[in-house]
Structure 1
Amino acid sequence: MKQHLKSLQKDLPKYFPDPDGTFEWIRNPFIINVQTLPNNLSASEEQQLLELASDSFLKTKFEQNTLTSFWLGASSEYPALSDKAVKYLLPFPTLYLCKIGFSVLVGIKTKRRNSLIDVEPHLCPKITNIEPDFPAIVSGQK
């Protein structure tokens, strides 16, 4: 057990490296240091980022919305930055939803319920945030 923990401690930084700040501007574009702008942006994107960082209206929007909502809302004024930020953020919820879907599918396909061939009607209500109207569904109205 001790050797396993030591091995895990040694290998963990390989899978979860310390953040290098390259994408820090996505998490909070309002704490940008002019001297240390990210090197993964073009000159026009750097200019847009500096303009965005000084926009007090967008700062209020940033504080009121989720990170993804903020960047989607900023797409009209700063399309290049918004596209880059959304492409970076997109895998996180997608992977999370895939894991939830797989866990639910495993729960549905247990030994007691493995005779279910079509799992979609059972899977959809489990992985959505929308509450189904079960009384209406049972009565055949929907």
Structure 2
Amino acid sequence: MTKNFPKDHIFPEWIQQPFLADMSDADNLKEELIDLQMNQGCQTKLRKLPLSGFWCDHLVAYPELARAVLEMIISYPTTYLCEKAFSTILQMKTIARNRLQGGLLHVMRVTLTNTKPRFQKLIAHKQQRKSH
């Protein structure tokens, strides 16, 4: 899990290794953490699933614990996407492109997406002009 996050972003041990962690780290979540640690089926699931998938699967059984974990895990990608969007806006709003007002949102949406346009498909569906 730590390979996707910066080195200075350290999660509590009870998130990364819930079955080996000391319960003093999770004061208000101790009961759910103890229940989770006693569940043998959950230990097997943790070995098979990625950490985020494991906690998503346990939202119903351990709601407070899973929500606390997911809030911590989700905060990094959300921050990254916001920073990426602001950088894109700053890049687009230069003096040369200062007249871009109405189309800025559309340009930003295209810039931030990972989807590649299929130009050949667009061209194929474009109706040709007929000569008179």
Question: Could you say what the CA RMSD is over the residues aligned between the two structures, in angstroms?
Answer: 3.1
* TM-score normalised by length of structure 2: 0.67
Confirm whether residue 47 of structure 1 aligns to residue 34 of structure 2: yes
State the Cα distance separating 1:89 from its structure 2 match.
2.2
- Structure that is richer in helix per residue: 1
* TM-score normalised by length of structure 1: 0.63
List aligned pairs for 1:31-110, cutoff 5 A: 31-33=20-22, 36-51=23-38, 55-62=42-49, 65=50, 67-110=51-94
Give the Cα separation in 2 of the matches to 1:91 and 1:120: 24
Instruction: Tell me the percent identity.
Output: 25
**CA distance 1:56–1:83, change in 2 (3 Å):** same
Give the Cα separation in 1 of the matches to 2:34 and 2:75: 26
Confirm whether residue 119 of structure 1 aligns to residue 108 of structure 2: no
The amino acid that maps onto 2:46 is K
For the pair shown, the structure with the greater C-alpha radius of gyration is 2
Any stretches of 5+ residues in structure 2 without a counterpart?
1-7, 127-132
Any stretches of 5+ residues in structure 1 without a counterpart?
1-15
| Structure 1 residue aligned with 2:15 | 26
State the Cα distance separating 1:124 from its structure 2 match.
1.0
Between Structure 1 and Structure 2, how many residues are aligned? 118
State the Cα distance separating 1:57 from its structure 2 match.
2.5
**CA distance 1:89–1:132, change in 2 (3 Å):** same
State the Cα distance separating 1:100 from its structure 2 match.
0.3
**CA distance 1:130–1:55, change in 2 (3 Å):** same
